[in-house]
Amino acid sequence: MRQAGRYLPEYQALRARAEDFLALCMTPDLAAEVTLQPVHRFGFDAAILFSDILILPWALGRPLSFVEGQGPVMPPLRKAEEVAALDLARMPEAMAPVLETIRIVRATLPASATLIGFGGAPFTLACYLVDGTGGAFLATRRAIREDPSFFTALIERLTDATIAWLTAQAEAGAEALMLFDSWAGLLPPLLFRQFVMAPTARILAALKRRFPRVPLMGFPRLAGLMLPAYAALPGLDAVGLDTTSDPVLARSLVPNELTLQGNLDPLALLAGGPALAEEAGAIASALRGHPHIFNLGHGVLPETPPAHVANLVSLVRGL
């Protein structure tokens, strides 16, 4: 996860050529090159499109900037009129460079490697939209209770936009699609079902109907005991486990044919050495005999030495 990015010197070099992170995402030649960098360096089996989940709200008309040291910043969205103003008609033009990136990558990537497209799940997008930046998302969690009709309308609009967005990516050449619900674990069970599972189910159904052979993957981070319910959603082909999920337990709680992805702690990758070998080996043994995509449980940290990633790849290939 976040296999491209700041831990790679070749990314830093390209990033310095673009005006900012958003410009990098929106310049197809550069975004395609960044997407391919980790595949060229490490020989991964898959490339994930270089973009960001917040490009979608930006395409719907919300201003977005990435502030050094703080992450994404948007004007907080709090009013029903602002939900109604999220404009799906802007998407085709705003998203055109991303679709062009997909076409370039697919034309360059080795045929054996899979190109993964992605989007943020509606709840996680809503967290950034309503609060305006990362944190404990208190404004979002209050709005759910204090202004439920506003929040429901926002989730509905983001669900429609996400379906359109992932459909366009599959049409442009994405061969698998992943939904990142990084903040799903903030919700208690009732609200998890309502604002994580229900919108995800609607997205999965729409995409499966249209692209029956494109694998659909979900990442309900920190879902805890809700993981089995999420994993049983019709149309879901794979679930990404976060670092806190025990793979042995997880495999006993999900359907046999559901692929599990994960879940090495990015700190083990940062540390390297025996900690990395031990933790990676434990995950592989826990999931032996179950369909498994070896991955991290969250994004690669910018301080990670690239040599540790190379070590991990040879470790996993040798297991």
Per-residue x/- track, 4-23, ligand CP3 (CB under 6 A): xxx--------x-----x--
Binding-site size, ligand CP3 (CB under 6 A): 22
Question: Could you say whether residue 44 binds ligand CP3 (CB under 6 A)?
Answer: no
What is the smallest separation between the CB atom of 24 and ligand CP3, expressed in angstroms?
A: 7
Question: Could you say whether residue 48 binds ligand CP3 (CB under 6 A)?
Answer: yes
Per-residue x/- track, 122-151, ligand CP3 (CB under 6 A): ------------x-----------------
Pick one of 18, 41, 46, 66: the residue that binds ligand CP3 (CB under 6 A).
66
Pick one of 26, 31, 53, 115: the residue that binds ligand CP3 (CB under 6 A).
53
What is the smallest separation between the CB atom of 186 and ligand CP3, expressed in angstroms?
A: 12
Pick one of 54, 95, 126, 187: the residue that binds ligand CP3 (CB under 6 A).
54
Pick one of 56, 58, 117, 118: the residue that binds ligand CP3 (CB under 6 A).
118
Name which of residues 246 to 305 contact ligand CP3 (CB under 6 A). 299
128 is catalytic: yes
- Of the ranges 49-57, 135-143, 144-152, 275-283, which one interacts with ligand CP3 (CB under 6 A)? 49-57
Helix (H, G, I), strand (E, B) or coil at 33: helix
Pick one of 43, 71, 148, 255: the residue that binds ligand CP3 (CB under 6 A).
71
| Encoded tokens for 15 | 């990033």
Instruction: Just list the catalytic residues.
Output: 2, 6, 15, 52, 128
Name the site residues for ligand CP3 (rule: CB under 6 A): 1-6, 15, 21, 48, 50-54, 66, 71-72, 118, 134, 180, 182, 299
